[in-house]
Structure 1
Amino acid sequence: MGKMEVGLQLYTLRDQMAIDLEGTLRHVAALGYSGVEFAGYFGRSAQEIRSLLDELNLKAIGSHIGLTNISENLQGEIDFIKTIGGSYFTCPSVPEEDRKDAAGWQSLYAIFQKTGEEVGKQGLQFCYHNHAFEFDIQVGDEFAFDALYQTTTTEAVKVELDVCWVQFAKQDVLTYIEKYKGRIPLLHLKDFTRDEQGQLKTLELGQGEVQLDQVIDASVKAGVKWLIVEQDSCQNPPLESIANSMNWLRSQNSDTYILR
């Protein structure tokens, strides 16, 4: 069983990326992250980004691509990810108006299946990244999340499991990792607590409610390829937060993942 690599979802550094993309990526590489998952390209060309990643020996995991771009610019998005060297084409969420009922979800499943088949033909893997709302509605006898993976094929649609949101939705994270064993190439490693209003408050790794050590052990057994650190909102400056999360990973002395 191979070791997992550790990457960073660049949404965490969205403000820094907008100001200084090159300097931000240099900082990420220097901290020891092996790869990055993009959430926008900030006006840079694919070749510009590829050249910088190659210089930094930083891998492109792939990108988060919204539903609008999937429908309006699918080939362009595929080409961009392939040029930067990515492997994963991930839908990060869906608009509320498209997921109000079971019929809406069924339409989404058809889109995901078709998109997954097309990106697969071109050498990429389609994934879907969850939040908590997929566990708020039933499609048939299942949560919308589970119905998605029952409706689509394993080859076309894989799981980018965000364990923070699964636990926030009051589901058992370890059960879900085991349930989708072999279908989870990407896992968002996140920690959280709840604020005074009961809303999600994301934290640096090791500071919240998620049993991350158990998650990491379960992930390697499930065949996860990438542990991807993400923090939706940071209490410290974001560059400091990603450093603290990396330090936590280093402190675990785990033999299940690779750090540079």
Structure 2
Amino acid sequence: MKYISFNPIVWLCVLALSLPTAAKQPQIKTPPVSVQLWSVKEALKADFHGTLEALANMGFAGVEFAGDFGPYGDNPSDLKKTLAKLGLQTSSAHIGFDVLTEQKLAQTLLFYKTLGVNTLYVPWDERAWDANRIAQFTEQLSAAHAQARHFDMEIGFHNHEREFEPYKEATFWDYIATHTSNSLPLQLDIGWVHYAQQDVQALIKAYPQRTRSAHIKVVAKNNGLSPILGNNGFQWDEIIQTLIAEGKTQWLVLEQEQYPEQMTPLQSVAASKQGLDKVLARLQN
């Protein structure tokens, strides 16, 4: 009878190969990043194409329009082609109720649909923090959203700070969220939420799957903060994780409303983009 010699090193190798390998933790898939074009509005007026090219070179995946279409005001199809050549998509657009009247609604929706925009946000309406007019506001917002859905589009609302003033044992923002359809998107502006001293993550969780777009920025207004993203102590990692998990956020929209001295708007946007890229890189590793 032959005996097989016992080699502990060999047996340890065999044992290691037979054990199930630990499952690798899946990486977080972060949403693409666009830029609100209001951030560079003067540069757009001076050089529309050059500014779009500069933003594309910064690594943005898309842009959010705010009423300036350069030489394409009557030609959304060609504007879409121009963006495509630069590798840019249209994440969304900001519009006012002036273009959502019964006479203009269909034309407005057709323009943006042709441009490739499926989600429109009303960014400002003083009725949104007026106790006597907020009901009228939510009714009009809901009606416009319902009409847009016939075009496979959506119309939502974007906050500033006054929507978080107290109203009916909650806030105006809570009233808007609870008096509109769960299908109506809420674009949370993180900068203004911080400025209003609200809990960002609690707001995202309060209305799940409705923060389908978020403005990523810092409001530096008499609070000693730097307007450049990443230069303050905000917990962006946790916020973006909550946006993904609870808000079902599809786009992160970088916005730059304030610019440090000696920096142009484009330079400020580039600096904040670098700060955001570092956050996203941490989440993906």
Same structural fold, with TM-score higher than 0.5 when normalized by the shorter chain: yes
Unmatched 5+ residue regions in structure 2? 1-27
- Given that residues 188 and 230 in structure 1 are in contact (C-alpha distance below 8 angstroms), is that contact kept between their aligned partners in structure 2? yes
Residues 2-21 of structure 1 mapped to structure 2, 5 A cutoff: 2-21=29-48
Whether 2:179 is the aligned partner of 1:154: answer: no
Judging changes above 3 Å, is the alpha-carbon distance between structure 1 residues 188 and 77 closer, same or farther for their aligned structure 2 residues? same
Give the CA deviation at 1:152: 0.8
Q: Which residue number corresponds to residue 144 of structure 2? A: 115
- Find the residue that maps to 1:93 and give its secondary structure: coil
Percent identity of paired positions between Structure 1 and Structure 2: 26
Distance, in Å, in 1 between the alignment partners of 2:48 and 2:134 is 36
Length, aligned pairs only:
250
Q: Which residue identity lines up with residue 68 of structure 1 in the other structure?
A: D
Moved over 6 A (4+): none
- Given that residues 89 and 125 in structure 1 are in contact (C-alpha distance below 8 angstroms), is that contact kept between their aligned partners in structure 2? yes
Whether 2:250 is the aligned partner of 1:225: answer: yes
Q: 1:53 aligns with which of 79, 83, 92?
A: 83
Judging changes above 3 Å, is the alpha-carbon distance between structure 1 residues 88 and 100 closer, same or farther for their aligned structure 2 residues? closer
CA deviation map 1:165-185 (0-9, x unaligned)? 111111111111221221111
Q: Which residue number corresponds to residue 156 of structure 2? A: 127
Distance, in Å, in 2 between the alignment partners of 1:225 and 1:89 is 14
Bigger relative contact order (CA 8 A; separation at least 6): 1
Give the CA deviation at 1:38: 0.3
Q: 2:122 aligns with which of 72, 88, 91?
A: 91
Larger Rg: 2
CA deviation map 1:97-148 (0-9, x unaligned)? x34632300000001100111111101121200000111241x332111111
- Find the residue that maps to 2:282 and give its secondary structure: coil
- Given that residues 89 and 119 in structure 1 are in contact (C-alpha distance below 8 angstroms), is that contact kept between their aligned partners in structure 2? no
Q: Which residue identity lines up with residue 144 of structure 1 in the other structure?
A: F
- Given that residues 225 and 232 in structure 2 are in contact (C-alpha distance below 8 angstroms), is that contact kept between their aligned partners in structure 1? no
- Find the residue that maps to 1:228 and give its secondary structure: strand
Judging changes above 3 Å, is the alpha-carbon distance between structure 1 residues 2 and 207 closer, same or farther for their aligned structure 2 residues? closer
- Given that residues 118 and 154 in structure 2 are in contact (C-alpha distance below 8 angstroms), is that contact kept between their aligned partners in structure 1? yes
- Find the residue that maps to 1:239 and give its secondary structure: helix
Q: Which residue identity lines up with residue 52 of structure 2 in the other structure?
A: L
RMSD of aligned C-alpha atoms?
2.1
- Find the residue that maps to 2:185 and give its secondary structure: strand
Distance, in Å, in 1 between the alignment partners of 2:83 and 2:110 is 17
Structure whose residues are more often strand by fraction: 1
CA deviation map 1:10-67 (0-9, x unaligned)? 1101111111111111111111100110001245231231121111121011210012
Q: Which residue identity lines up with residue 243 of structure 1 in the other structure?
A: A
Give the CA deviation at 1:216: 1.4
Whether 2:54 is the aligned partner of 1:27: answer: yes
Could you state the TM-score of these two structures normalised by the residue count of structure 1?
Answer: 0.89
Give the CA deviation at 1:256: 5.2
Unmatched 5+ residue regions in structure 1? none
Q: Which residue identity lines up with residue 242 of structure 2 in the other structure?
A: A
Q: Which residue number corresponds to residue 268 of structure 2? A: 241
- Given that residues 160 and 188 in structure 1 are in contact (C-alpha distance below 8 angstroms), is that contact kept between their aligned partners in structure 2? yes
